Amino acid sequence: MKRVVCITGAGHGIGAATANAFAEQGDDVVVTDIDGAAAERVAREITERGGSATGHRLDVASDEEWAALSAALRAGGRAPAVIVNNAFRNVVAPAHELDSAGWHSTLDVSLGSIYRSMHTFHDTLTAARGSMVNVSSVHALLAWPGHPAYAAAKGGIVALTRQLSLDYAPEVRVNAVLPGSVNTRVWDGMDDDGVAAAEMQASLRRFAEPAEIASVIVFLAGEGASYVTGVSVPVDGGQTSSLYS
């Protein structure tokens, strides 16, 4: 059945792969990103392949932009049945070097966005007996140096996912994925040793491709996961299953 699926941070990386994966199974995809041109490009590529999508600028930290997106979608008869919260911010610095703006913006973009999405679309998700999937990280489970705000946000996503799954049950299912190292632009600045170390941390000895995260998100949002709610699923090639590296 064709659903309206709204994805944040979908102009690049995992979000773009997720937009493509939903479109390939026939869903109508609302591709959003703070980079509006990137969102429009992803949507255009989907429609050129015969799929259904529109691109929108959405800064997930802005109450006003959530309200504007909501108004535009409702006016167009496109009430979201599925939300994928994927956008993030990560200011890397130990706490004593992280300024207040870096702390607050990381939490607001990466965690506050999930509150905003449910605040905005709880009624459409409920009416559709829909689903939310939140993109957390292995940083919710393990610490790496210099990521206090990101770790707090990603750990918070696990707790918030559990909370929302109770508050909006039984109509809405809410789950999370915890990706390990994924081959996106966030790794562009990493040297070869850093990439090799990350590969070795995964039992599968490689990075994931964005499509390998997207396929789990699509599963969690779909009928095959109809009795799954409140869980956070590592999609990490075994990175958090072993200390061996």
Ligand X SMILES: NC(=O)c1ccc[n+]([C@@H]2O[C@H](COP(=O)([O-])OP(=O)(O)OC[C@H]3O[C@@H](n4cnc5c(N)ncnc54)[C@H](O)[C@@H]3O)[C@@H](O)[C@H]2O)c1
> Which spans of this chain sit near ligand X (rule: CB under 6 A)?
8-9, 11-15, 33-35, 38, 58-61, 86-89, 109, 135, 137, 179, 181-182, 184-186
The residue among 13 and 130 lying less far from ligand X, judged by its C-beta, is: 13
Least distance to ligand X from the beta carbon of 49, Å?
A: 20
Do residues 133 and 176 touch, judged by C-beta distance below 8 A? Answer: yes
The residue among 141 and 186 lying less far from ligand X, judged by its C-beta, is: 186
Least distance to ligand X from the beta carbon of 15, Å?
A: 5
Phi first, then psi: what are they for 174, rounded to 5°? -130, 120
Least distance to ligand X from the beta carbon of 38, Å?
A: 6
Any alpha helices (H) in 79-183, and if so which ranges? 100-107, 113-127, 148-167
Active site residue 150: yes
Catalytic option among 150, 168, 227, 244: 150
- State the DSSP string of the chain: ---EEEESSTTSHHHHHHHHHHHHTT-EEEEEESSHHHHHHHHHHHHHTT-EEEEEE--TT-HHHHHHHHHHHHHTT---SEEEE---------TTT--HHHHHHHHIIIIIHHHHHHHHHHHHHHHTT-EEEEE--GGGTS--TT-HHHHHHHHHHHHHHHHHHHHTTTT-EEEEEEE-SB-SGGGTT--HHHHHHHHHHSTT-SPBPHHHHHHHHHHHHSGGGTT--S-EEEESTTTTT-S--
Residue nearest to ligand X (CB): 13
Least distance to ligand X from the beta carbon of 94, Å?
A: 19
Least distance to ligand X from the beta carbon of 179, Å?
A: 4
Alpha-carbon dihedral sign for residues 245, 154, 62, 210: positive
The residue among 118 and 182 lying less far from ligand X, judged by its C-beta, is: 182
Least distance to ligand X from the beta carbon of 1, Å?
A: 27
The residue among 12 and 122 lying less far from ligand X, judged by its C-beta, is: 12
The residue among 126 and 212 lying less far from ligand X, judged by its C-beta, is: 212
The residue among 128 and 221 lying less far from ligand X, judged by its C-beta, is: 221
- Residues with catalytic roles: 150
